[in-house]
Structure 1
Amino acid sequence: MPSIRHEVLARGVPWIHRAREIDDLLTEKARLELAHRRLDRSFPSRAVPGFAKRFRLDREDAGGFPSYVVTPRDVPVKRTLVYVHGGAFVAPIDPFHVRWTTRLALATGARVVLPDYPLTPESTWQASHEQIVDLTARWAAEPGGTVLAGDSSGGNIALAVALTMRDRGLSMPGRMVLHAPWVDLTMTAPGTPEAAGRDPWLHLGKAHAYARWWAGRDDLTLPQLSPVNGDLDGLPPALMLYGTRDLLAPGCQLIALRARASTWDLTVVEEPDLIHVYSLMPLPEARRAFRTTVEFLG
């Protein structure tokens, strides 16, 4: 049963994020383009108290866009966490991404690498896919190995990157962590319309529009866009966490089903009646998810 805090947040999320269904494509596209022109893309380090004393922040060029490297100052670094942020392909790195990744960095002895990839509708997946593949492969070759992680649309990108890396025989991440990944951009997984009626945050019309803009002229069924359609054999062991009060839950359930028919070692944590990316939120349920993540990474 969801906690009281979860239920309060579930009611507040639509207001906090101004979540509403799309009016029309042209209006939404213009709204996003205006918002992006006004967007502050600086790294949200203020999300973490005492950030400068506890972490070193470096900015690298990922091939046309920045990648931020966050290194704990007082914890020995033994691995790298490449974290691809979510935000429906239209939103930048959020403070809650920084809070979660830095907390995990301290708990597991990791540096964090966050690619700040170009957003849609101005850009498509092709503006960042190869760069994130190269970035992840470079870090995966470093001592200690790499964890590749992401939430929502970032989970989509992380899985697409892993598929490409495997196909090319590149150095692979040792593990993956996926928070409610958007694995099916076609939004045709069984149960999706019903899930749309339960989700207080995400909207089906917006999902269709953002997916189409992210894909550009490419087919939404491509594994690089809908990883649920890919060959899952040979992917790194992964942990996937999601709640069922989530528009993306049917896609997560479908990829879990397909993983069982493959050689992919996917650990699934499905939480009844919890909202999208609950595992990153300030919730009792998220604390449990964090402990599970730390145990999974070892």
Structure 2
Amino acid sequence: MTAFHASRASFLSRRVVPAYLRIIRANRPFLTPGPAREHLRDRSLRPKTYGPPRRLRSDVVVSVDHSRGLPIYTLIPRTGRPRGNVVYVHGGAWVNEIAVQHWQLAADIAAEVGTTVTVPIYPLVPFGTAAQVVAAMAKLVLDNRSRYGEVCLAGDSAGGQIALSTAQVLRDEHGVALPGTVLISPALELSLSNPEIDVVLPSDPWLGKEGTRVFIDLWRGELPLTDPRVSPLLGEMRGLGPLTVFSGTRDIVLPDTRLLVERAREAGVAVDYHEGAGLVHVYPLTPTREGRLGRQQILDALSKALAPAKTTAP
């Protein structure tokens, strides 16, 4: 996740964001294998900090638990009684650590939805693999269901892949359908073989194919690319709970996202799809007016999913 230098009270033009990403060459690690391997070596040698920024919302309390073998952060509203839980899985191409924008969104969810938010700091490549992390996320959701009641999943980019794969594992292995899963520009089919990706690629200022494959090959571990724990687009959609999905049109995940929406709806899954014309990867996390609208739509979706069930008089 690239750090955009704009305050939360100001907004950049949607046209500024792609230009900025081009200037800083945000897509360099993703375009070709050489820079991808350099980026991987740098991240392995000099890991980035993952802790929350010192200045988050003052109406949210943050704590951390290390007892599971990986840091699990919890964000709760300072006042009121939280209802349910959201597990937020951050993106970063399976190689980059959680960014300030992820923390800000997690804090907004806790405060505005009035829920407990769990942020797991999962192992990245070359140390973490899809099988390992998806299993850990499924266990985390099950444990949180016992503790908090209803649990929703949310994730962006690589975290969106993990979130949807986890939702499928929960359904298949535990008979659990979540009340809501939010997917922000999710990675969905990691062969990157959809021919429409090459049509979108020239307009995407952030991502690329050949460099991303370096990270994917490590992430899949011993699993084939066709395994739904790696490529959830290839998994069964029927029986999943409601999905809220976001994608911009200047984003190489767009073609597979459209396929996800089509297949899920055909399988009877309720899908609320938001496609941002001219917008970039994970646009709800950008400091634009369209990003602000996307964040509000995320909050609305999670509020609806965690709302107390209405009872009717006998």
Q: Please report the TM-score for the alignment, with normalisation by the length of structure 1.
A: 0.91
**Conserved 8 A contact 2:73-2:118:** yes
Partner of 2:211: 206
Distance 2:282 2:157 in 1: 7
Q: Structure 1 residues 153-162 or 196-205, which shifts more? A: 196-205
SS at match of 2:62: strand
1:233-244 equivalences in 2 (<5 Å): 233-244=238-249
Distance 1:249 1:225 in 2: 18
SS at match of 1:87: coil
Return closer, same or farther for 1:187/1:73 CA change in 2, 3 Å cut-off. same
Partner of 2:7: none
Partner of 2:5: none
Structure 2 gap ranges (5+)? 1-10, 305-314
Distance 2:36 2:204 in 1: 20
SS at match of 1:56: strand
Partner of 2:19: 11
Partner of 2:311: none
Partner of 1:38: 46
Q: Is 1:29 paired with 2:37?
A: yes
Q: Is 1:127 paired with 2:132?
A: yes
1:220-271 deviation digits (Å, cap 9, x = unpaired): 1111111000000111111001111101111101111111220221211111
Shift of 1:6: 1.2
Return closer, same or farther for 1:31/1:260 CA change in 2, 3 Å cut-off. closer
Structure 1 gap ranges (5+)? none
Distance 1:82 1:143 in 2: 11
Return closer, same or farther for 1:26/1:274 CA change in 2, 3 Å cut-off. closer
1:18-72 deviation digits (Å, cap 9, x = unpaired): 431558646633542332332243412235254xxx3322222374321111112
SS at match of 1:5: coil
1:137-180 deviation digits (Å, cap 9, x = unpaired): 11123444111000000000000111101011254432111101
RMSD: 2.1
**Conserved 8 A contact 2:91-2:155:** yes
Return closer, same or farther for 1:161/1:62 CA change in 2, 3 Å cut-off. farther
Distance 1:117 1:167 in 2: 22
Distance 1:165 1:112 in 2: 19
Select which of 115, 122, 125 maps to 1:117.
122
**Conserved 8 A contact 1:279-1:286:** yes
Q: Structure 1 residues 188-197 or 78-87, which shifts more? A: 188-197
Distance 1:93 1:85 in 2: 6
Select which of 266, 270, 282 maps to 2:275.
270
Distance 1:18 1:83 in 2: 24
Select which of 194, 199, 203 maps to 1:194.
199
Distance 1:107 1:224 in 2: 31
Partner of 2:297: 292
Select which of 106, 110, 135 maps to 1:105.
110
SS at match of 2:223: coil
1:84-120 deviation digits (Å, cap 9, x = unpaired): 0000000111100011111122111011101101101
Distance 2:67 2:268 in 1: 32
SS at match of 1:232: coil
Distance 2:175 2:254 in 1: 30
Q: Is 1:58 paired with 2:63?
A: yes
SS at match of 1:46: coil
Distance 2:88 2:126 in 1: 22
Distance 1:257 1:179 in 2: 16
**Conserved 8 A contact 2:50-2:99:** no
